[in-house]
Amino acid sequence: MSERTLIKNLAAANDGPVSVSGWVETVRDQKKVQFVVLRDESGAVQLVHPRAFGEDGSPLDDELADTISGLSQGTFLTATGELKHDERVKLGGVEVKLASLAIASVAIAETPIAADSSIDKRMDWRFLDLRRPEQNLIARVQTTFEHALRGYWNDNDFIEIHTPKLMASASESKAELFEVKYFEGKAFLAQSPQFFKQMAQPAGFGKVFEVGPAFRADPSFTSRHATEFTSVDAEISWIDSHEDVMTMHENLLVAGLTAVKEKHGDDIKALFDVEVTIPSTPFPRIPLAEAKRIVAEHGYEVPRHDDDMDPEGERRISAYVLEKFGHEFVFLTDYASSIRPFYHMRHDDDPGLTRSYDLIFNGVEISTGAQREHRVEVLEAQARDKGLDPEELGFYLDFFRYGVPPHGGFGMGLSRVMMLLLHQANLREVTYLFRGPTRLLP
């Protein structure tokens, strides 16, 4: 078997024999010469085959030409031939003059999706949609981003944990739980690793992180919601307030975005026309009440049906921060206890407010973080305030009965970060296989 060369490495290779493998993107079957654009996981290259003609100008029998004429888009094959550098070739400045083709798998000629297909249609045929260079880059950016996060955590002495996704009781709101049959009883799919990453604090682990699946039974059809998503979580001991969590969070994101810009910045600019910005620290911090006042002064009143910031308010405050501070991120802090989970610590001087934050990135919330309440008697009271039965939370409350340090952390949606980083309009574009209220396939 000849050694396969990745297409991205052809530019640096010497002219001469070469073998490349991938799938057919386009075929230009001209009278005198045939061109095939072959793509693999690293890029695309032009394959060239001049047709053979006799002295009288009549075409000669040419098995390779016949094979090329019959190629369908998506066919996987291996091409061998002579690599030639030619700056006139627009596709990478190289081309391969074909000697032979070995077809691995023939594709059906008529593809079920096109460039202008709807997003739902493309999701039906996601494995074909993922062949697009943009989708390949999204996956690579996410890989680099996650690797950089782990690098930061490793450099700062965090421990990686893998928490169970089957739970006996709710970690947040029962209204958003998926219930599943569990032998003779029932279980729930975890909405977050919240309880279990907190368990690491009395265990003495100090600082922990997890990147894993989470599930929300939220019948929402917006562009930024999913029923299954990848959650990026961290929890740290011995904090003074949620300010310590925000500092860790922003430093983590700077590490991730720096790695993305260094490795993929040029490609992101070419394919998405987006300039990756490495944010300065500290990120702007604005108490929620002040943020509402700011957007009101700029012409938008956040509806008063609850104490939260609505999506339009998030967009408005983000635009304000970008204009005033030149920053794509903003921490909104001090949310009302009425809309925060029972385990968020409340301010000593104002129990109506929590030591918590939401992180807004380019107009959309990507994360919630907080200092956790570690005093068991306060936790029990706050659980009752939320209509939860402390008896059902017994295993969780036990974490706090045998000593626990002050601690806090955050949970962040990975796909939302990717969506906003690359300025995509929908979470589905940056999720490998999306799950929503009406989608369980493919």
Q: Which residues are annotated as a binding site for L-aspartate?
A: 172, 216, 368, 372
Q: What is the dihedral sign for C-alpha 120, 126, 131, 136?
A: positive
Q: If 0-12 CB within 10 Å is exposed, 13-18 middle and 19+ buried, where does residue 234 land?
A: buried
Which DSSP symbol is given to 174? G
Which DSSP symbol is given to 373? P
Paired tokens of 120: 């739902």
Coil/strand/helix, residue 136: helix
Paired tokens of 386: 């939320």
In angstroms, the CA 401 to CA 231 distance is 28
In angstroms, the CA 389 to CA 373 distance is 17
Q: Are strands 285-287 and 329-333 parallel, antiparallel or unpaired?
A: parallel
Phi, psi for residue 74 in degrees, rounded to 5 = 95, -10
Residue with tokens 């909104």: 332
In angstroms, the CA 143 to CA 260 distance is 9
User: Annotated binding site for ATP: which residue ranges?
Assistant: 365, 413-416
Nearest to 97 by CA among 89, 106, 108, 107: 89
* Alpha-helical runs (H) found in 177-302: 194-199, 242-272, 288-297
Q: Is 53 left (phi over 0), alpha (psi -120 to 50) or beta?
A: beta
Coil/strand/helix, residue 242: helix
User: Annotated binding site: which residue ranges?
Assistant: 172, 216, 365, 368, 372, 413-416
Angle at 331 between CA 325 and CA 337, to 5 degrees: 145
CB 16 within 8 A of CB 83: yes
